[in-house]
């Protein structure tokens, strides 16, 4: 008799090490998204258009326009991130500073992100409890400098900034505009994004991109790339 060894499938709620999580995930090539958060497996259900897919596209459009105007900044859509031995999330979006430009994360030989990207964003429809609970704690502990959570059903956008090891809520200015503390010029008109008014979102972003702070940031990144390139 030949004993056939098979890899167990991933299941919601499994308690696994990161190594075992990756082994099972890699054995399921048709699986679109699974995350390990504080040692627990979370698997995404099918995504609906209005509560997730469309907000996700709008968020990516805003971040993409910032990325193309800012050399040394890189944008990822649902990338696997190896944070620590108990956490391997697959965030909806991340914005990072390239290692050659002084960023705090790296790409390993398999192409995965290792370490802590500077900004992570999540679309929280059915996942709000996890995104604002265990995931937020894992991101804080691992030094994710900014964390955006868009709660679609509650029409709420929270922007957390890491200060002295704790997340504090970034407050929009009197015009209702968030201004990133890590990525100068990354401005977000909160009510415009919630209303799906992407023309206004991009107009406000362009104002941020034209600011002296963003111009100085671009110069800083460009010099770092030239020095380390």
Residue at 92 is within a domain: yes
- Domain tally, the chain: 1
**Selection from 31, 18, 12 nearest residue 126 by Cα:** 12
pLDDT computed for residue 3 by the predictor? 45
The answer to whether residues 140 and 83 touch, using CB atoms and an 8 Å cutoff, is no
Burial profile 50-69: b = 16 or more Cβ within 10 angstroms, e = fewer: eebeebbebbbebbebbbeb
Beta-bridge mates of residue 158: 149
Yes or no: say if 75 and 68 are a contact pair by the CB < 8 Å rule: no
**CATH number of the domain that residue 129 is part of:** 3.90.1570.10
Q: Is residue 137 part of a domain?
A: yes
Which residue ranges in the chain fall short of pLDDT 70?
Answer: 1-5, 126-128, 229
Task: Give the contacts of 46 (CB within 8 A, at least 6 positions apart).
Answer: none
Report the pLDDT value the prediction gives residue 2, as an integer from 0 to 100: 45
> Is 7 inside any structural domain?
no
DSSP conformation letters of 20-54 = HHHHHHHT-TT---EEEETTEEEEPPPPPIIIIIH
**Residue 128 pLDDT:** 67
Whether 80 maps to a domain, the answer reads yes
Asked if residue 192 is part of any domain, the answer here is: yes
40 part of a folded domain: no
- Whether 29 is covered by a domain: the verdict is no
Strand partners, 124: 151
Please give the C-alpha separations between residue 83 and each of 18, 182, 217, in angstroms, as whole numbers.
Answer: 10, 19, 26
Q: Report pLDDT for 8.
A: 85
Q: Containing domain of residue 99, as a range?
A: 49-228
Residues 122-172: tens digit of each pLDDT:
998 765 677 888 899 999 999 999 999 999 988 999 999 999 999 999 999
């Amino acid at each position: 008799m030949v004993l056939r060894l098979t890899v167990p499938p991933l299941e919601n709620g499994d308690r696994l090490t990161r190594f075992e999580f990756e082994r099972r995930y890699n054995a399921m090539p048709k699986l679109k998204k699974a995350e390990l958060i504080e040692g627990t497996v979370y698997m995404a259900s099918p995504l609906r258009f209005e509560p997730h897919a469309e907000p996700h596209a709008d968020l990516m459009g805003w971040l993409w326009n910032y990325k193309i105007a800012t050399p040394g900044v890189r944008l990822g859509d649902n990338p696997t991130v190896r944070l620590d031995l108990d956490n391997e999330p697959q965030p909806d979006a991340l914005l990072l500073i390239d290692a050659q430009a002084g960023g705090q994360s790296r790409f390993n030989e398999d192409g995965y992100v290792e370490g802590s990207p500077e900004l992570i964003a999540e679309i929280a429809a059915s996942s709000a409890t996890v995104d604002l609970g265990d995931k937020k704690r894992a991101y804080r502990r691992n030094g994710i400098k900014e964390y955006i959570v868009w709660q679609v059903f509650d029409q709420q956008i929270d922007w957390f900034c890491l200060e002295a090891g704790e997340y504090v809520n970034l407050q929009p200015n009197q015009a209702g505009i968030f201004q990133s503390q890590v990525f100068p010029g990354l401005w977000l008109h909160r009510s415009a994004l919630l209303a799906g008014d992407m023309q206004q979102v991009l107009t406000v972003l362009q104002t941020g991109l034209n600011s002296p702070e963003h111009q100085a940031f671009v110069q800083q990144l460009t010099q770092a790339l030239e020095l380390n390139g």
